[in-house]
Every structure is written in C-alpha cells, then in structure tokens.
Structure 1
Amino acid sequence: MKANRMEAFSDGVLAIIITIMVLEFKVPEGHDWSSLADLVPKFLSYAVSFIYVGIYWNNHHHLLHTVQTLNGKLMWLNLLLLFSLSLVPFSTAWMGESNFSSTPTALYGIVLLLAAISYTLLQRAILKQHSSDSAFAIAMGKDFKGKISPLFYLAAVVSAYLNSWVSCFFYVLVAVIWFVPDKRIEHFIRSRAS
C-alpha cells in the first residue's frame, strides 16, 4: 500500500478538525462592532489552533513523502496522531469559552503534548525504515525542535495554574518555532529526486 492513501485520509481528518473549530463560533446577538468583543478569546484560541493544525498538516505531508513501506504500525501511529489532533477543537473551544482559565488552558497543553508525542513516534517509526547513515537519517539530525517542544508544553501545562498568559506564551512560542516548514525533509526529498 502506498503512503498517499494514508496521507489523503489524514488530509480529510485535518480538514474536518479545522471545520469543527470554526463552527464553534456563534453569531453574536448584537449588531455592532462591540458585539464582537466577547468573541476575542475564542478567536485567539482558534487562530493559534488553526496555525497548529496547519503546522501538523505541512510537516505530516513532508514526513509521509519519506515512507518507504507502509505497514500496520505506521497506520496505527498515524491514527494516534489524528486522534490527538481531533481533541484540539474541544480543548480550543473550552479554552476560548473560559477566557483562558487555568484548567482549560492546561488541558490545551496536554492535548498539544499528546500530538507532539504521537508525531515523534510516527517520525521515529518512519526513520527506522532508513539506515542510520541514510540521507534521511542525516537530514533529520538531532531534531532540536522536536525535543524542545514537549518541554515547552509541559512548562505551559504547569504555568497554566500560575498564570494562563504565560502558558499561552509557551503555546505561541512553539508555534513560532515550527511555523517555518521543516526544511530537513524538503532537502532529503530534493536530493533523492536528483
């Protein structure tokens, strides 16, 4: 089986996740600009989550282009990632509805941590298909961003109970770190094509 089938399924799930998030917005009862003020926390949580889902979609797309053989383990690890990401709309809505209260903000971090762990497991399983001296293994290197992100998520979960805005800073920081697509995989794909 080719990885493009798993990629197409994943793309559909991620599109549904984004759709569910935007459907959480309810039309305000008022008819002026001030009526939108209550939606600001919801919009902020939505915007960060939209960026996160976009980051996962982008990196997932690149990662699946390195799959040599699709097997049951990869399919289950991919489903674990999709399960983790499917929790994003709920945690996003709760965080926005609660105006970034401690527990919803901490839960958001737990969901992001689960997604990061799931992605790492999928990436490692794909990496095992390549020899340790392969161009892909060399391109992946030490994966600094992949190692630092879970630590920031843990810091965000803990800080949510001290100051939820500090917690949100960590979420935005990780999104900024990952906003630029992972060039390592792009370089590997280009070198394989030539």
Structure 2
Amino acid sequence: MKTGRLEAFSDGVLAIIITIMVLELKAPEGSGFAALRPVLPVFLTYLLSFVYVGIYWNNHHHLFQAVKLVNGKILWANLNLLFWLSFFPFVTGWMGKNHFEANPTALYGAVLLMAAIAFRIVIYCVVQNEGEASSIGRVYSTDKRMNLSLFLYTLGMAVSFIFPIISLLIYLGVALMWIVPDPRIEKALKD
C-alpha cells in the first residue's frame, strides 16, 4: 500500500488535535493586560504543546516521504502514535489550568514519553518493512537523540514531583532537540 492515505489521515488527526487545544484558551475577563496574567500558564502550555504537535507532524511527514510502502503493522503503529498524541489537549489543559503543579506536569511527561515510544514503534515497523539496508534503516540504525529523549521524559516525570518547573524546562529542552527534522532523512531522499 502507498503512504498517501496514512499521511492524509494523520494530517487530519493532528489538525483536529491542534484545534481542540486552542479551544482551551479562553478570553479573560477585563480588557487590561493585567487580565492576561491568570491565563498565561494556559497559553504557555498550549504553546509548548503546539510546538510538540508541530514537531511530530514535521518528523512524521519527513519519515513518510522516505517510505515506499506501508503494511498493516505500520498502519496500526501509526494509529498507536495518533492515540497518544490525541491526549495532548487533555494534558495541556490540565497542566495549564493547574499552573504546572506536580501531578499534571508528570502526566504531561507520561504522554510525551508514550508518544515518543509510539513514534519509535512506527520507525521500527517501517525499518522492518523497508529493510535495515534501506535509506530509512540506515538513518535510524543509530539514533541517540531518540534514546536521550526517552530518558529525559522519564527524568522530567520524576522531577515533576519535586520541581515541576524544572520538568517543564526538560520537556522544552527535548522539544528544542527535535525542532529541526532529522536532516539524515532529507539526505537519504537525495541519495
């Protein structure tokens, strides 16, 4: 099977996720800038989550530009990824409304961790289908950034019970690591 339907469905789901997240932003009472202060945590959480959804969309798009064909395993692995990404609006809203308290921040990290694991499963299924000698197989045979991300999400979850703000900085740091899509895929596409 070609990748077009998988990509179109994934794009639609990610667009819906972003739409649901923005609906959590409620206009404050009052017209002064001081009225924005109470909604700042909600906005900052939305901003971080928007960046994460953008990162997943970007890396997903790059990955499937290099994939020749998909099979049932890849389709289910992709649905697993979309399942975890679909929790972003919930954890984004909960963490923002509760001003980065420990439990919401830990759950936010857990969803980030599960989405990262799910993306790794997608990559595993793609490499299994395309072969380890394929361009995708060569790109992802050594991916230290992915392993570091999983470690940092786990660390962020643990730290959130002591210093939730440090957890947010860890989550932001991981996002910054992934903000630029993997240039190895573009190079593999050119080769």
Q: Pick the TM interval, shorter chain.
A: over 0.9
Q: Which stretch has the larger CA shift, 52-61 or 25-34? A: 25-34
CA distance in 1, matches of 2:180, 2:134: 24
Task: Return the TM-score normalized by structure 1.
Answer: 0.95
Could you tell me whether the CA contact under 8 Å between 1:21 and 1:92 is conserved in 2? yes
CA distance in 2, matches of 1:102, 1:43: 18
- Identity of matched residues, %: 47
Question: 3-state SS of the aligned residue for 1:68?
Answer: coil
> Does structure 1 residue 57 correspond to structure 2 residue 57?
yes
Please state how far the C-alpha of 1:128 moved relative to its aligned partner.
1.3
Q: Which runs of 5+ in 1 are unaligned?
A: none
Question: 3-state SS of the aligned residue for 1:129?
Answer: helix
Aligned 1:128-147 pairs, distance under 5 A: 128-147=128-147
Q: How many residues in Structure 1 have an aligned counterpart in Structure 2? A: 191
Partner residue in 2 for 1:160: 160
Partner residue in 2 for 1:185: 185
Q: Which runs of 5+ in 2 are unaligned?
A: none
CA distance in 2, matches of 1:54, 1:134: 26
Please state how far the C-alpha of 1:181 moved relative to its aligned partner.
1.1
Partner residue in 2 for 1:127: 127
Could you tell me whether the CA contact under 8 Å between 1:80 and 1:118 is conserved in 2? yes
Cα RMSD over matched residues?
A: 1.0
Could you tell me whether the CA contact under 8 Å between 1:3 and 1:70 is conserved in 2? yes
Task: Return the TM-score normalized by structure 2.
Answer: 0.97
Residue deviations 1:106-163, cap 9 Å, x none? 0000000010000000001101123333333223341011111010000000000010
Question: 3-state SS of the aligned residue for 1:128?
Answer: helix
> Does structure 1 residue 113 correspond to structure 2 residue 113?
yes
Residue deviations 1:138-192, cap 9 Å, x none? 233410111110100000000000100111111001001001111111111111x
> Does structure 1 residue 86 correspond to structure 2 residue 86?
yes
